[in-house]
């Protein structure tokens, strides 16, 4: 569980996050949605402490993260995995070295144990034949997969994903989405995903928080997002033709299952 209470973050006097309070539970995929520039990335980076919040508190389970110093945060970070928007793989290291780095840093395992874990994680993300390649030799989807493998290599309890499927083709997007959801359920991780992709929202949005002009504007799940009574949210949601169709199908068939609607 991760909880934010009244967090405020501004840059040079411009408020980006304005008094946001929200709770994300473990074992489900929590989504933060909003238009680009609405502050999703800032929100995610504030939650992990890459940005210091101006005020407000953040809890990781029952630990108050905001009060901790660098050392104590480091202990929590051992349990945190993060997937950055561009993957953020180290350019000077191969796929295997990238995935192995957290193990090198945090564990005293032998080289065989580490390699076993690395191979397991790479297999988990369906990446079996890229071990010796450098990030510049990978496609966008492969980079995202390596990033996921690196994020889960230490068995994190908290997983943060910043637009995990931006820049990917629809098919790969779904694969990545499902991968993240499966891992979340399998290991009971508290997962928070930034996205503006309605596909993902309707597919894996077990809890959805809509951010608009730096405020939390709406929260709910994929089941109620199509019927929400909120003008800004509706504008965001139905900007996508796919969501429009999904709603049409739902109302004509009188269905109420987001997944069912999506398959049409």
**Selection from 129, 192, 132 nearest residue 160 by Cα:** 192
Tell which phi-psi region holds residue 213, choosing left (phi > 0), alpha (psi between -120 and 50) or beta: left
| Residue 176 token pair | 């990545």
**In this structure, what are the phi and psi dihedrals at residue 218, rounded to the nearest 5 degrees?**
-160, 150
Report the nearest approach of Mg ion to the CB of residue 40 (Å).
5
Residue spans of beta strands (DSSP E) within 25-107 = 29-33, 55-60, 63-64, 80-83
87 contributes a contact to ligand ADP by CB under 6 A: no
13 contributes a contact to ligand ADP by CB under 6 A: no
220 is in the binding site of which of ligand ADP, Mg ion, other proteins, none (Cβ under 5 to 8 A by kind)? none
Given 40, 117, 144, 150, the residue binding ligand ADP (CB under 6 A): 40
Given 2, 7, 16, 208, the residue binding ligand ADP (CB under 6 A): 16
**Selection from 188, 159, 177, 157 nearest residue 222 by Cα:** 177
30 contributes a contact to ligand ADP by CB under 6 A: no
> Chain-centre distance of CA 90, in angstroms?
20
- Rounded to whole angstroms, the Cα distance separating 166 from 172 reads 10
213 contributes a contact to ligand ADP by CB under 6 A: no
199 contributes a contact to Mg ion by CB under 5 A: no
* Minimum CB distance to ligand ADP smaller for 84 or for 118: 84
- CA atoms within 13 Å, Cβ hemisphere of 34: 26
Part in contact with ligand ADP (CB under 6 A); list of ranges 29-37, 75-83, 120-128, 182-190: 29-37
* Minimum CB distance to Mg ion smaller for 33 or for 99: 33
The residues binding ligand ADP (CB under 6 A) are 11, 16, 34, 36-42
The residues binding Mg ion (CB under 5 A) are 41
């Amino acid at each position: 569980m991760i909880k934010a209470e009244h967090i405020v973050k501004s840059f040079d006097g411009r408020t980006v996050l304005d008094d946001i309070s929200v709770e994300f539970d473990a074992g489900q995929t929590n989504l933060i949605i909003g238009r680009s520039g609405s502050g999703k990335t800032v929100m995610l980076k504030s939650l992990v402490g890459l940005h210091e919040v101006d005020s407000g508190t953040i809890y990781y389970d029952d630990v108050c993260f905001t009060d901790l110093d660098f050392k104590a945060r480091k202990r929590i970070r051992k349990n945190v995995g993060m997937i950055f928007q561009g993957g953020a793989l180290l350019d000077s290291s191969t796929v295997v070295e990238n995935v192995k780095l957290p193990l090198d840093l945090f564990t005293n395992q032998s080289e065989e144990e580490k390699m076993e874990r690395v191979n397991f994680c790479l297999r988990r993300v369906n990446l079996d034949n890229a071990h010796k390649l450098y990030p510049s030799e990978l496609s966008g989807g492969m980079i995202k997969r390596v990033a996921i493998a690196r994020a889960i290599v230490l068995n994190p309890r908290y997983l943060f994903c910043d637009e995990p499927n931006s820049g990917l083709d629809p098919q790969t997007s779904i694969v990545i989405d499902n991968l993240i959801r499966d891992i979340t359920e399998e290991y009971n991780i508290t997962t928070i995903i930034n996205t503006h992709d309605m596909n993902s929202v309707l597919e894996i949005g077990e809890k959805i928080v809509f951010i608009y002009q730096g405020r939390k504007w709406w929260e709910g799940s994929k089941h109620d997002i199509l019927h929400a009574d909120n003008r800004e949210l509706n504008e965001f949601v139905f900007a996508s033709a796919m969501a429009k169709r999904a709603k049409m199908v739902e109302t004509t068939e009188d269905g109420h299952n987001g997944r069912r609607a999506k398959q049409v």
